[in-house]
């Protein structure tokens, strides 16, 4: 692996050699000790590590060396070594199984030394990785599964050799196989279990990996009149990029073909399953698939700044973050192996104290060692979380960290913004009325209002500006534009201060409702030099899915409320239409923030992120509707790709399923160990196959929790695409 050179802030690697939670912790600790590393977070399920750096010097070799000293290897994805690595692990398991069968045949033919030689080849040859990891565990003082397997298999092999040397034959065993064959079988089963478990973990991470694979490695770029193939990271803003039919768009850009219309599949980026049509001048998203003829785009950002790159970064970060449940489980796992070692020692001493033979006491202690499974505990939550995050990402939903998903099923109150959240966010001007003493015409006042709203992204501001454009009004340029917190905006036009704000109730008597307009319309007030001169009335339709979503969440025990900055009358009308009893309008952002304190927690808040950022950040779970920027994720925790409230219920349902699967996994893991260890200590395994049967049970327990997490993926996969 080459040095990283002038390192970026974050680098990511595959990690070879990890088998359990203890491995992940040891990799993190080893890398964190390298000067210039701020943090290292391992994603055990995907066998990756994300390293945050503050160094400017070359530290690639130091990172590699630190990992190797801990017993692992860092691998760049571009090295293409992952398939070979998996094949190598599978081949080790196959070799161990073949040697085990041959050892058993030698035992049946009464060839004890040949049996021991074949068993030793299986244990110390094919199983050398287990012993190497066990030794690394001991040196790193982070004991994991490999220590238990190595001690069990090693003790069985040594016991067999000592028996041959002292008695010239193996000790008798009720299952008619010797300790040597048993040692080989323990290793073979452990390797096979790891192979199956890794394959299942890879399946769990498939949704995330499919997003990562959607980022093309190269792009066809025309620069200075010369066409060539560049790495995506080398594409610069303004480059002309050519995309072949049915190829992925490598970077974000603007369709620049003259008079072109193209069909694209953006599902990997936005979660929208239906193809979309883009025309000349429209934005194209990197990672989308060109479904028609070749196209040309003008890159709007470099490869590292594309929407897909941001999605990948967010998903990778979320899958590496440890939730509160994972942190608690990790602490349990850290003391689990020492506790098992103590239990095995007590078992050995206890059986000897009862007068049992040394062979029986050793076999029983070995069964205790190999039946215990900290991996089942360590994988119970991370695998399920990875499945959930990947499945959400496949729908375009980004989650900041796993803690958000843990909180979501417990929410008691749903706080909803109105404009752009419950409504479609595309209001239109339906009327305006001037004050009696206003000297300017309706068109002039609308143009002045549009001038200060021209740079705002609020739906009401856009509606006013678009109405001015529809009327073909000359909109003057405003200066000194600033936001009036929670009320609106203001600026200066030709030495006059123009403001567009939420109306003051004290002015109600100056403005009569225009004919045909009810009190349910949204209203803004136009001020000139501090005096109210006009009111503009706007109308915004409810989202089609709003009632269904609110009823669904209410049925799940979540109380919906509305908190909006819009006119109280308009808010009350929407609340009545949706059957919501608790609704308040006319709130500033600080009012919304203060209001959260009186609501029942945990609180789920859904908003468009424009005026709701403080409240979204303060809520236990914030959902930013239709915005997936880094700012939205920091404030809200969950960012939706489009303004579709059904994604809120989908995310809530999946988080609820996740909580149930995590509880099941933890219960399975704890119950297995609570039953299996005493079962082994009492000698019960000696009657059904000895330590070899215990090894099979151990491997099965890890595989069981992973398969249970995959059941979450299968069940949620049948849900219709929101």
Cross-strand bridge partners of residue 416? 562, 606
The Cα–Cα gap between 513 and 431 comes to 9
| 417: annotated active-site residue | yes
The Cα–Cα gap between 249 and 298 comes to 11
Asked if residue 602 has a cis previous peptide bond (ω within 30° of 0), the answer is yes
The Cα–Cα gap between 123 and 156 comes to 10
SS3 300: coil
Ordered DSSP codes for 140-202: HT---HHHHHHHHHHHHHHHHHHHHHHHSSPPP-TTS--HHHHHHHHHHHHHHHHHHHHHHHH
Structure tokens at 722: 């929101």
Which one of 137, 239, 417, 566 is the catalytic residue?
Answer: 417
- Produce one character per residue of 137-172: b if its CB has 16 or more CB atoms within 10 Å, e if not: beebebbbbbbbbbbbbbbbbebbbebbeeeeebbe
In terms of phi and psi (left: phi > 0; alpha: psi -120 to 50; beta: otherwise), the region of 600 is beta
SS3 524: strand
Say which residue the tokens 């190598």 belong to.
88
The secondary structure element, H or E, covering residue 702 is: helix 691-717
Structure tokens at 92: 């080790």
Tell whether the torsion through CA atoms of 345, 346, 352 and 357 is positive or negative. Answer: negative
Distances (CA, A) of 415 to 15, 119, 493, 522, 629: 42, 65, 38, 20, 21
- Residues annotated as catalytic (active site), given as ranges: 417
């Amino acid at each position: 692996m080459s040095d990283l050179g002038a390192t970026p802030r974050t680098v990511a690697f595959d990690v070879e050699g990890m088998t359990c939670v203890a491995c992940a912790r040891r990799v993190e600790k080893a890398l964190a000790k390298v000067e210039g590393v701020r943090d290292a977070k391992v994603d055990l399920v995907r066998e990756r590590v994300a390293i945050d750096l503050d160094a400017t010097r070359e530290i690639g070799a130091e990172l590699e060396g630190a990992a190797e000293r801990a017993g692992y290897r860092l691998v760049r994805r571009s090295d293409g070594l992952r398939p070979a690595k998996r094949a190598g692990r599978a081949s080790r398991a196959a070799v161990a199984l073949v040697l085990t069968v041959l050892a058993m045949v030698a035992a049946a033919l009464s060839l004890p030394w040949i049996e021991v030689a074949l068993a030793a080849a299986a244990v110390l040859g094919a199983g050398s990785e287990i012993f190497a990891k066990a030794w690394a565990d001991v040196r790193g003082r982070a004991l994991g599964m490999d220590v238990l397997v190595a001690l069990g298999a090693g003790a069985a092999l040594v016991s067999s050799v000592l028996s041959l040397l002292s008695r010239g034959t193996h000790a008798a065993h009720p299952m008619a196989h010797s300790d040597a064959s048993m040692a080989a079988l323990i290793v073979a089963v452990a390797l096979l279990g790891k192979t199956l478990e890794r394959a299942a973990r890879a399946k769990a991470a498939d949704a995330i990996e499919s997003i990562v694979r959607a980022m093309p490695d190269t792009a066809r770029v025309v620069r200075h009149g010369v066409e060539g193939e560049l790495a995506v990271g080398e594409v610069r803003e303004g480059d002309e990029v050519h995309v072949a039919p049915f190829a992925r768009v490598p970077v974000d850009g603007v369709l620049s073909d003259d008079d072109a219309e193209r069909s694209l599949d953006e599902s990997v980026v936005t979660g929208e399953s239906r193809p979309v049509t883009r025309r000349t001048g429209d934005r194209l998203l990197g990672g989308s698939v060109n479904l028609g003829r070749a196209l040309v785009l003008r890159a709007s950002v470099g490869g590292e700044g594309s929407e897909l790159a941001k999605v990948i970064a967010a998903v990778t970060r979320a899958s590496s973050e440890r939730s509160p449940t994972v942190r608690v489980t990790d602490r349990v796992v850290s003391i689990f192996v020492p506790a098992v070692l103590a239990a095995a020692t007590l078992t050995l001493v206890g059986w000897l104290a009862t007068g049992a033979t040394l062979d029986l006491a050793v076999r029983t202690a070995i069964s205790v060692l190999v039946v215990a499974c900290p991996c089942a505990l360590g994988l119970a939550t991370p695998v399920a979380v990875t499945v959930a995050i990947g499945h959400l990402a496949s729908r375009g939903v980004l989650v900041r960290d796993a803690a958000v998903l843990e909180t979501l099923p417990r929410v008691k109150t749903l706080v909803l913004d109105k404009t752009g959240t419950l409504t479609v966010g595309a209001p239109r001007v339906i009327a305006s009325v001037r004050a009696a003493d206003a000297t300017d015409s309706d068109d002039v006042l609308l143009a002045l209002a549009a001038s200060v709203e021209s740079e705002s992204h609020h739906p009401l501001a856009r509606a006013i500006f678009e109405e001015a454009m529809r009327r073909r009004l000359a909109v003057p340029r405003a200066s000194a534009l600033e936001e009036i917190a929670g009320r609106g905006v203001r600026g200066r036009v030709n030495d006059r201060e123009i403001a567009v704000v939420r109306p003051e109730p004290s002015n109600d008597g100056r403005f009569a409702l225009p004919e045909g307009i009810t009190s349910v319309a949204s209203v803004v007030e136009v001020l000139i030099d501090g005096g109210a001169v006009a009111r503009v009335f706007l109308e915004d339709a409810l989202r089609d899915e709003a009632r269904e979503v609110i009823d669904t969440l209410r049925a799940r025990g979540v109380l919906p409320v509305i908190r909006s900055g819009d006119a109280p009358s308009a808010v009350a009308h929407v609340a009545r239409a949706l059957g919501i009893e608790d609704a308040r309008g006319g709130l500033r952002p600080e009012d919304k923030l203060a209001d959260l304190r009186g609501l029942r927690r945990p609180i789920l808040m859904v908003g468009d992120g424009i005026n709701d950022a403080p409240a979204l950040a303060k809520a236990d779970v914030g959902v930013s509707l239709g915005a997936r920027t880094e700012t939205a994720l920091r404030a809200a925790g969950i960012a939706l790709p489009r303004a579709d409230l059904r994604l809120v219920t989908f995310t809530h349902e999946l988080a609820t399923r996740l909580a149930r699967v995590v509880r099941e996994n933890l219960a399975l893991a704890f119950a297995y160990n609570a039953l299996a260890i005493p079962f082994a200590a009492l000698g019960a395994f000696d009657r059904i196959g000895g330590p070899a049967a215990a090894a099979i049970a151990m491997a099965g327990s890890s595989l069981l929790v992973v398969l249970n997490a995959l059941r979450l993926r299968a069940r949620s996969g049948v849900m219709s695409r929101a």
